[in-house]
Amino acid sequence: MSMPTTMQAATRGRWAVAGIFLANGFLTGSWAPQIPVFLTRLDISKFTLGLLILLFGVGAVIAMTWCGHLISRHGSRTVTRLFGICGSFGLLIVALAPNVPLAAIAMLIFGGSIGGMDVAMNSNAVVVERRLSRAIMSSSHGFWSLGGFAGGALGGYTIESYGYLSHAIMVTVIAFAVVAIAINYLVAEERPRAVEHRKFTLPRHATVYLVGLMALLTMISEGAVLDWAALFLHQELGADLAIAGLAYAAFSGVMALMRFLGDGVRNRFGAVATLRGSALIAAAGMLVAGLSPSPYLAIAAFAFCGFGIANMVPIIFSAGGNQEGMSSGTGMSVVTTMGYSGILVAPSAIGFVAERSSFGPIFIALSGLLVVVLLMAGLAYRAEFAAEPLAAE
């Protein structure tokens, strides 16, 4: 295979995995506007809804835990294809569920397919980075954010105009079409590298768990802004609901923009330096938000935090997927599972603490967690990739 052809295949693989990220974000974002319909359609309480949403998380974590084993044996391309196709139908299965027991099973399946797809696509992005010898992880996550924005923005209008089931069908058709095209151009590892993982075992290297801890601390902070920033502005800073809603909008908008710019920054300054700078900016933004006496200053601070936090998870994921002595899927499985566990557990814990104090001190404490990531940033040196030959197609 000639060099131009190899690079062309790697470039196509880069856009293919971006398509998978886009589809995953679109499916996840499209679920949010379905939640109110889900509640009324099944005639359930908010508590029951919370348990069903928790099952989504349980399914995701189970799939993430096992996905590394599957990638070790079959490669990230094959597993991305499998979970990508299955994930396309996840929202439709939930929308078709007629009662709570079947909805519970549907949520487990939906969460599992999205979670498995998440590990596989991140692992494949690491493979592409090795082929191209440059970063693509941040912009890949930018495509996820773009898909999530599109799914959330279009969902409410579509459900109101055409109904929840028509919306679910439309989402399925779009996601499946994107996945069906993208999976034809995904690149593969030269061979699954962790041949010793014939049975499911946890990695023995301590470093991968420390990288996972960085993901956990970072994603706790990201999830806290998602779930609690608006309530903080509304209840404690006196903002009306329209202004309060701008907190996460500013955070996520700046974060999405920076993810598309982040690869260039990382390619120029290196993964460790970029992570240190990003963590410092994110910690400063979170600290100012927690101390802010004004909702407008808090919104600006959350936007500044999004500026920093945008590229932290992509760099940490790249480090997880490049751990020595294990396949990209095995390392990615540990790091993503630990990271997303933070988003699952942190919201309820933060709510429990906030009931007994206030949100300001919580955001100040979260800035401290981001400082811990800053101090641990040297562990991300494995995010620097070495080029590898492209597998024969």
Residue 75 is encoded by which pair of tokens? 């490669």
Note the Cα 166 to chain centre separation in Å.
27
What is the mean predicted confidence (pLDDT) over 64-85?
Answer: 89
Per-residue pLDDT at 211: 92
pTM: 0.76
337/182: higher pLDDT: 182
Per-residue pLDDT at 57: 80
Residue 91 is encoded by which pair of tokens? 């929202």
Phi, psi of 384, rounded to the nearest 5 degrees: -75, 125
CB within 8 A of 25, min separation 6: which ones? 143, 144, 145, 146, 147, 148, 149, 150, 151
- Cα–Cα distance measured from residue 15 to residue 125, given in angstroms and rounded to the nearest whole number: 10
Per-residue pLDDT at 208: 87
Residue with tokens 């700078």: 277
Amino acid at 277: G
**In contact, 377 and 279? CB cutoff 8 Å:** yes
User: Which of 9-13, 44-48, 159-163, 302-306 has the highest average model confidence (pLDDT)?
Assistant: 302-306
What is the mean predicted confidence (pLDDT) over 208-224?
Answer: 90
What is the mean predicted confidence (pLDDT) over 105-115?
Answer: 93
Per-residue pLDDT at 384: 73
- Cα–Cα distance measured from residue 340 to residue 323, given in angstroms and rounded to the nearest whole number: 19
**In contact, 156 and 47? CB cutoff 8 Å:** no
How many CB atoms are closer than 10 A to CB 343?
A: 18
Does pLDDT of 369 surpass 50? yes
Give percent of the chain above pLDDT 90: 39
Q: Using H for helix, E for strand and C for coil, what is the string for the chain?
A: CCHHHHHHHHHHHHHHHHHHHHHHHHHHHHHHHHHHHHHHHHCCCHHHHHHHHHHHHHHHHHHHHHHHHHHHHHCHHHHHHHHHHHHHCHHHHHHHCCCHHHHHHHHHHHHHHHHHHHHHHHHHHHHHHHHHCCCCHHHHHHHHHHHHHHHHHHHHHHHHHHCHHHHHHHHHHHHHHHHHHHCCCCCCCCCCCCCCCCCCCCCCCHHHHHHHHHHHHHHHHHHHHHHHHHHHHHHHCCCCHHHHCHHHHHHHHHHHHHHHHHHHHHHHHCHHHHHHHHHHHHHHHHHHHHHCCCHHHHHHHHHHHHHHHCCHHHHHHHHHHCCCCCCHHHHHHHHHHHHHHHHHHHHHHHHHHHHHCCHHHHHHHHHHHHHHHHHHHHHHHHHCCCCCCCCCC
State the Cα angle at 93 between 89 and 96, rounded to 5°. 135
Per-residue pLDDT at 262: 87
**In contact, 152 and 30? CB cutoff 8 Å:** yes
Per-residue pLDDT at 203: 67
**In contact, 27 and 88? CB cutoff 8 Å:** yes
68-82, 173-187, 298-312: which has the minimum mean pLDDT?
68-82
